[in-house]
Structure 1
Amino acid sequence: MTRWPSVTGSPDEASFSEKLRAHLAETPYFRQHPDQLFTVDSHGEPMTQTVVALVRGSGRRTIVLAGHFDTVSIANYGTLAPLACDPEPLTQALLKELRSRPLNAAEAKALTDFESGDFIAGRGLLDMKSGLAADIAVLERFAGLEAPKGNLLFVATPDEENRSRGMRSLRNALPEIARRFDLDIVGGINLDASSCERDGEEGRAIYLGSIGKFAPFAFVIGRPTHAGYPFNGTSAHRISAEITRAMDTVPELSDEAFGERSPPPVCLEARDIRDGYDVTTPDRVWLSFNWLTHSRSASTILGDFRTIVAGALQTALDTQDAHAARYRKRDAAKTQGTVLTYAELLARLDAAALVRLKALDRSLSGGTDPLKVSREIVAAAATEAGIEGPAVIIGFGSLHYPLVHLAQAEAGRQMQARLQRVMAEAATRHNTSIKFKQIFAGISDMSFFGHRPEAGETGLLATNTPSAAFTDHAPDGLLSFPTVNIGPWGRDYHQKWERMHAPYTFEVLPDLVFESAVACLAE
């Protein structure tokens, strides 16, 4: 599978599903049960599809085994890009390169790993085609049982590296699949990869949840002025700098839940919005942040962000007023600013303006950069509304990934209890250590896998996200079931030195996933 390229958004991603379906169709089980192997349309042109494979036993109880097949770009391999998807030659080429020159610490570690023989390189081998391979091994073992109890449903989805359109379309189709085959889906196992910089103790794990992600933006509107008369206007850059200072890497903005702490927010993008050069100060600056959370809701995030932005805006205005007073040697003026949510901005527009914005959104919807799309729509909306600075428009610039965790429901707590025994027995059987970890930090499809979002949260996000392409439209009737992540581990995924730890992935992981699935299928 690694030798089948499948970079997100490429024609190779679209063709991968048919290659995988054809491969599974040649196995003995699916030669006998061809109707239990099919694809579900996802998105794109050419159409990308999810591969679905059902292995039946007795009864209705069903566990879903999930993984994605799209990968990030191969561009960072440089001259080795032609080998990026060919693991053995790539590993040898990387060894040759690393042995030929002085190394930094990360490269020295990669060399040691490759020389050990335990690690294999390859774009997507770690993230996450080795997880798919483990899933397929589990399917084959389950199909070989004399009288298996329950059912396994394998799904291989596209687009995890972009906006999880594969998993979201599969999620929407799952109720009909369950009705069609009379399945009671009681749990899910995702097989995404994790990283560990030590001996693998952090990678040999069952993750009980996946982190939540928000992407709040601040669209800053100042009052432009000639650079020779700086106090005749309001600096959008000063306002944006204060917002960044109040947000970026501030530890108090992280949260703690399940005994673990989330990272603080970081600024992903900061740019003024103008095309050419002149000596007029820019009137508009765009900021976007990545805010990961273990507990906060959309309403809490938006409320906290508004408070932070309002405070930073006033600090910037008070500082510039004080500078003007010292420069002009007279009493300071008191400049006031405004903070609006994107929903509040839209409420100021007439019907014709809203129609124009929707048309703009449709024209931009094919773009893969959510921040660029959101930035252009917000800029147009602010112009339509005639907003004068100083002001800041806030909202969400890209798709929200909900926090999920087993502790959120009783069924999840029961699943964890079953996996406790499986984990201990597998560790003993393979003479290794395996542990529970609370939160999978690599934003993942788990956020949409078995999760039924709250309507209130969905509505708040939709009205404050500029582009409909980056909102999650969850239909009624979605299934809800507990999920965990049990995947391979390695190092440097998405990087040139991406490598998978083979002994754990090829020996321990399929056994652990199989026993976990069987335990959860038991009545």
Structure 2
Amino acid sequence: MTRWPSVTGSPDEASFSEKLRAHLAETPYFQRHPQQLFTVDSHGEPMTQNVVALVRGSGRRTVVLAGHFDTVSIANYGTLAPLACDPEPLTEALLKELRSRPLNGAEAKALKDFESGDFIAGRGLLDMKSGLAAGIAALERFAELTAPEGNILFVATPDEENRSRGMHSLRNALPEIARRFSLDIVGGINLDASSCERDGEEGRAIYLGSIGKFAPFALVIGRPTHAGYPFNGTSAHRISAEIIRAMDTVPELSDEAFGERSPPPVCLEARDIRDGYDVTTPDRVWLSFNWLTHRRSAADILGDFRTLVNGALNAALETQDAHQARYRATSKAKTQGTVLTYAELLERLKTRGGDALDRLSALDRSLSGGTDPLKVSREIVAAAATEAGIEGPAVIIGFGSLHYPLVHLERAGETGRTMHDRLQAVMQDAARRHGTSIKFKQIFAGISDMSFFGHRPDAGETGLLAANTPSAAFTDDAPEGLLSFPTVNIGPWGRDYHQKWERVHAPYTFEVLPDLVFESAVACLAD
């Protein structure tokens, strides 16, 4: 599978599903049961598809094994890009390169790993075709049992590295698949990869949850002025700098839950919105942040962000007013500013009447094929602010990209506790058999398809997000009747995924992991 390129958004991604379906069709089980191997359309042109493979035993109880097959770009391999998807030649080429020059710390670790013989390089080998391979191995082992209890449904999805359109489409199709084959889905195992910079102890793990992600934005609107007369306007840059200072890497803004702490928010994008050069201060500055959470809801994030932005706006205006008073030797003025959510901005447009909302919808449709959510959101918000005639100083806030909900086994109640107890026994037995350690970890730190796998979103939260996300393409339009079931993540580990030195730890991934996934699935199927 690694030798089948599948970079997100490429024709190779679209063709991967048929290659995988054809590969699975060659197995004896699916030669006997071809109707239980099929694809589900996802998105794009040419159409990308999910691969679905069902192995039946007795009864209705079913566990779903899920992984994505798209990868990030191979561009960072440079001259070695032609070898990026060919693990053995690539590993040898990387060894040769690393031995030929002085190394930094990360490169020295990569060289040591490759020389040990325990690590193999390859784009997507770690993230995440080794996880898929473990799921397929578990599926085939289940098919070979004489009288298996329950059923295993294996799914391979595209687009995880972009906006999880593959998992969304699969999730939406799952109720009909369950009805068609008379399945009761009792649990899910996501197969995504994790990283460990030490001896692997942190990588050999069952993750009980996946982190939540919000992408709040702030469009800062100042009052432009000639640079020779700075106090005749309001600096959008000063306001944006205060917002960044209040937000970026501030530890108090991280979440603590399940005994672990999320990273604090970081600024992903800061730019003024103008194309040419002149000596006028910028009218508008766009900011976007990444805010990972362990417990905060959309309402919490939007409320907290509004408070922070309002405080930063006031601090910036007070500072500029004080500078003006000192410079002109006059009494201090009091400049007022406004903070609006994107939903409130649209309400202003509705009040004004006219066809402004129709023009924004048309703009959204024209931009919906774009893969950069921040660029799409930036253009729509800027257009909406212009339509509404917003004068600075003001800040428009909202969500600039797809929200990934926090999921955790604890939130599944009694069924989650039962799954936890069964997996604990499996984990201990597998560690003993293989002479290693395997542990529970609370939160998978990288955003993942697990956020949409077995998770039925809260309607109120979905509504708030949709109202404050400029582009419909980056909202979760969840249909009625979605299935809900407890999920965990059990996958390979390695180092430097998405990087040139991406490598998987072979002994764990190819020996321990398939056994762990199989035994975990069987344990969850027991009545």
Range of TM-score over shorter length: over 0.9
1:342 CA displacement: 0.1
Which of 366, 370, 392 aligns to 2:373? It is 370
Does residue 383 (structure 1) correspond to residue 386 (structure 2)? The answer is yes
1:351 CA displacement: 4.5
| Whole-angstrom distance in 1 between the partners of 2:3 and 2:431 | 31
**Corresponding residue of 2:481:** 477
| Whole-angstrom distance in 2 between the partners of 1:351 and 1:75 | 47
- Aligned partner of 1:473: which letter? D
**Corresponding residue of 2:525:** 521
**Corresponding residue of 2:22:** 22
Instruction: Return closer, same or farther for 1:351/1:17 CA change in 2, 3 Å cut-off.
Output: farther
| Whole-angstrom distance in 2 between the partners of 1:191 and 1:353 | 45
- Aligned partner of 2:501: which letter? W
Map 1:449-468; keep pairs closer than 5 Å: 449-468=453-472
**Equivalent pairs: percent with the same residue?**
89
**Corresponding residue of 1:88:** 88
| Whole-angstrom distance in 2 between the partners of 1:139 and 1:333 | 71
Which of 408, 413, 419 aligns to 1:415? It is 419
Does residue 148 (structure 1) correspond to residue 151 (structure 2)? The answer is no
Which of 490, 493, 502 aligns to 1:489? It is 493
Which of 504, 507, 525 aligns to 1:500? It is 504
Give ranges in structure 1 of 5+ residues lacking alignment.
none
1:412 CA displacement: 1.1
**Corresponding residue of 2:295:** 295
- Aligned partner of 2:107: which letter? E
**Corresponding residue of 1:165:** 165
> SS where residue 369 of structure 2 aligns?
coil
Aligned length: 523
Does residue 200 (structure 1) correspond to residue 203 (structure 2)? The answer is no
Does residue 78 (structure 1) correspond to residue 78 (structure 2)? The answer is yes
- Aligned partner of 2:203: which letter? G
> SS where residue 348 of structure 2 aligns?
coil
| Whole-angstrom distance in 1 between the partners of 2:479 and 2:198 | 43
> SS where residue 348 of structure 1 aligns?
helix
> SS where residue 264 of structure 2 aligns?
coil
Map 1:271-290; keep pairs closer than 5 Å: 271-290=271-290
Instruction: Return closer, same or farther for 1:351/1:192 CA change in 2, 3 Å cut-off.
Output: farther
1:413 CA displacement: 1.4
| Whole-angstrom distance in 1 between the partners of 2:405 and 2:140 | 33
Map 1:263-278; keep pairs closer than 5 Å: 263-278=263-278
**Corresponding residue of 2:190:** 190
| Whole-angstrom distance in 2 between the partners of 1:380 and 1:412 | 46
> SS where residue 269 of structure 1 aligns?
strand
Map 1:63-142; keep pairs closer than 5 Å: 63-142=63-142
| Whole-angstrom distance in 2 between the partners of 1:351 and 1:417 | 59
Give ranges in structure 2 of 5+ residues lacking alignment.
none
| Whole-angstrom distance in 2 between the partners of 1:352 and 1:320 | 38
Q: Deviations over 1:73-132 (max 9, x none)?
A: 000000000000000000000000000000000000000000000000000000000000
- Aligned partner of 1:495: which letter? Q
Q: Displaced runs of 4+ in structure 1, greater than 4 A?
A: none
| Whole-angstrom distance in 1 between the partners of 2:301 and 2:518 | 39
Q: Deviations over 1:317-360 (max 9, x none)?
A: 00000000000001010000000000000001135000000000
Instruction: Return closer, same or farther for 1:506/1:281 CA change in 2, 3 Å cut-off.
Output: same
- Aligned partner of 1:23: which letter? H
> SS where residue 53 of structure 2 aligns?
strand
Q: Give me the CA root mean square deviation.
A: 0.4
- Aligned partner of 2:519: which letter? E
**Corresponding residue of 2:219:** 219
- Aligned partner of 2:443: which letter? I
- Aligned partner of 1:285: which letter? V
> SS where residue 174 of structure 2 aligns?
helix
**Corresponding residue of 2:357:** 354
| Whole-angstrom distance in 2 between the partners of 1:409 and 1:470 | 26
**TM-score with structure 1 length normalisation?**
1.00
**Corresponding residue of 1:329:** 329
Q: Deviations over 1:379-410 (max 9, x none)?
A: 00000000000000000000000000000022
Q: Deviations over 1:14-70 (max 9, x none)?
A: 000000000000000000000000000000000000000000000000000000000
| Whole-angstrom distance in 2 between the partners of 1:266 and 1:507 | 38
Q: Deviations over 1:172-229 (max 9, x none)?
A: 0000000000000000000100000001000000000000000000000000000000
| Whole-angstrom distance in 2 between the partners of 1:249 and 1:351 | 42
> SS where residue 151 of structure 2 aligns?
strand
| Whole-angstrom distance in 2 between the partners of 1:58 and 1:255 | 43
| Whole-angstrom distance in 2 between the partners of 1:406 and 1:140 | 27
**Corresponding residue of 2:259:** 259
- Aligned partner of 1:401: which letter? Y
Does residue 249 (structure 1) correspond to residue 252 (structure 2)? The answer is no
Which of 425, 446, 450 aligns to 1:446? It is 450
Which of 514, 520, 527 aligns to 1:510? It is 514
Q: Deviations over 1:409-458 (max 9, x none)?
A: 22111110110100000000000000000000010000000000000000
Does residue 424 (structure 1) correspond to residue 428 (structure 2)? The answer is yes
- Aligned partner of 1:249: which letter? T
> SS where residue 189 of structure 1 aligns?
strand
> SS where residue 355 of structure 2 aligns?
helix
1:460 CA displacement: 0.2
**Corresponding residue of 1:393:** 396
| Whole-angstrom distance in 1 between the partners of 2:479 and 2:369 | 22
> SS where residue 409 of structure 1 aligns?
helix
| Whole-angstrom distance in 2 between the partners of 1:405 and 1:354 | 38
Q: Deviations over 1:227-262 (max 9, x none)?
A: 000000000000000000000000000010000000
| Whole-angstrom distance in 2 between the partners of 1:162 and 1:515 | 31
Instruction: Return closer, same or farther for 1:60/1:315 CA change in 2, 3 Å cut-off.
Output: same
> SS where residue 114 of structure 1 aligns?
helix
**TM-score with structure 2 length normalisation?**
0.99
Instruction: Return closer, same or farther for 1:351/1:155 CA change in 2, 3 Å cut-off.
Output: farther
